[in-house]
A and B are shown apart, each in its own frame.
Chain A
C-alpha cells in the first residue's frame, strides 16, 4: 500500500468510528475494550521506530518504561479523544512525548546511551526509516514543530494534521468534521499562519 493511502486508511477516515469505540469501551463493553486494546497494540512498534527515527537510541529497559508510560498516559486522557483522527495517530503523539521525556530524564541523570550512528549503521537488520539518521538540527526543528502544533487550539491542530500529515483534501476533512470546506480552509489557514509566525520568531531568537 502506498504510504499516503496507508495513513489515510489508518487515520483520518476512522476518527468518528474510533470515538464510538472508545466511548463503548469506557462504558465497560468487553468487545469494545478488546478492540481498543488491539488498536493500542501499535504502541511498542511506534516507540521502537520513533526511537530509531529520532536518533534517540534509548536502551531496552528505557523503552519498556516508555511503553508502560504511554499506556498510563492514555488511560486518563481517553475521555478527551474527540475523534478527529484515528486512535493510532492520537497515540503516536503520546509515544513521542513519553519518548522525549524519557530521553530528557536520562540526559539529566547523566546516563549515556548509544549514538545515532550505532542504530542506523549499514549492517542494521532493519529497513531504513523514511527520515533515517536525521541530523540534530533537523530533528530539533521537527520537535519544535511538534511543540508548536501542540500549542494550537485543538480544532486548528486537527485540521492541520489531517491536511498535512494525513494528506486529506479539504473536502475529505470537511466530511470528517461535518463542516463546510470553506470553514475548514479558513481554520487551516489561520493555524498555518500562526505556526509559521511562531517558528519564524523562534528562528530569529535562536
Chain B
C-alpha cells in the first residue's frame, strides 16, 4: 500500500524550501524539489518569482560594488576627470585630517578612571595595611585624618579642572582661569571657527593663571570674524597636557 502524502506536510516542506530559497541557501536537489512544487502551487510560484527578482536586484547591486572596488587602471589614472577628482579628494582629505585632529585636541582630557574592581582591591589593601600597622602599634593613638600641606604649585582653591568665563572688552582685557593641581604651565590660545590659532599667550611655561592682553592683541581679536574660541591647556613638567578646557566660546564686548 502506498502512503498518501499529507497536504499539510507538503505545504510545510514547500514553505521551508521557499524560505531557504529567499535566503539563497538551497542545494541543487532542493532547488529541483522547489521547482516541482511550484508546478503544483501557483501562489508558491509567484513567491519564488518575486524572490528571484529580489536576488537579481541584489546581484546587480553587488556588481556595482565589485566594479567600484577594482583597482584604478592606468587609463583611468591618466584621465583628466580622475586627476581633477583626485585633487579634490586631496583637499577634502586635508580638511578631514584637520577636523579629526582638531576635534580630538579640543575634547577635554579626562583623567584615567580606575576600574571598579581595581578600586575595591586598592581600598581593601589600604584598609588591611592600616589595620596591620595599628595592630603593630605604628600609630600613637586612634587613626585620624591629618591635613598635610601639599607641595603647593597652585594659587589656591580646590580645583580639578579649568574654570573660565571668557569674556573680553576694551576696558577689561584680562582672561583668568582656575589653577590646576601640579600644572607647571598653561598653554593659552585663541582659535577661530576653523580651528586656526589667532592669538597665543607668549610663555606657556609660566604658572600664572592670567593673561593680560595688550591693546594690539585685543585689536587683533576684534578684527576677526566671530566665532572665537579660547583653549587653555595645563601642562606638566614635561610639557604634556594634563587637562584642557576644551574650546570655550570667547565673547568680545
Contacts and interface: CB of A to CB of B under 8 A. Distances in A.
Interface of A: 3-4, 6-7, 10, 25-30, 33-34, 36-37, 40-50, 53-54, 59-61, 63-65, 67-68, 70-72, 74-75, 88-89, 92, 95, 125-127, 129-131, 134, 138, 141-142, 144-146, 160, 163-165, 167, 170, 185, 188-189, 192-193, 195-196, 199-200
Of all A-B residue pairs in the complex, the 5 with the closest CB atoms, nearest first, are A28-B104, A71-B92, A130-B63, A64-B88, A44-B85
B93 A64 contact: no
A28 B101 contact: yes
24 contacts: A3-B69, A6-B66, A7-B65, A26-B100, A28-B100, A28-B107, A33-B101, A37-B97, A43-B92, A44-B86, A48-B76, A48-B85, A53-B67, A53-B68, A60-B85, A71-B95, A74-B96, A75-B99, A125-B79, A141-B57, A144-B57, A160-B58, A199-B50, A199-B53
A134 B60 contact: yes
Interface stretch (B22-30, B157-165, B180-188): B22-30
Contacts of A65: 88
A7 B66 contact: yes
Nearest to A146: B61
B95 A131 contact: no
Contacts of B73: 126-127
Given A145-B57, A189-B22, A189-B23, A44 B88 contact: yes
B97 A33 contact: yes
A44 B22 contact: no
A64 B54 CA distance: 33
B23 A45 contact: no
Interface string B221-245: 0000000000000000000000000
B48 to A, nearest CB: 11
Contacts of A192: 22-23, 54
B231 to A, nearest CB: 14
Nearest to A29: B104
Interface in B101-123: 101, 103-105, 107
Contacts of A47: 85
B65 A165 contact: yes
Contact of A37 (B88, B93, B103): B93
B101 A68 contact: no
A199 B54 contact: yes
Contacts of A72: 92
Contacts of A196: 22, 50-51, 54
Contacts of B68: 42, 45-46, 49-50, 53, 92, 95
A120 to B, nearest CB: 13
B23 A71 contact: no
B64 interface: yes
Contacts of A67: 85, 88-89, 92
A92 B57 contact: no
B91 interface: yes
B80 interface: yes
B72 interface: yes
A13 to B, nearest CB: 14
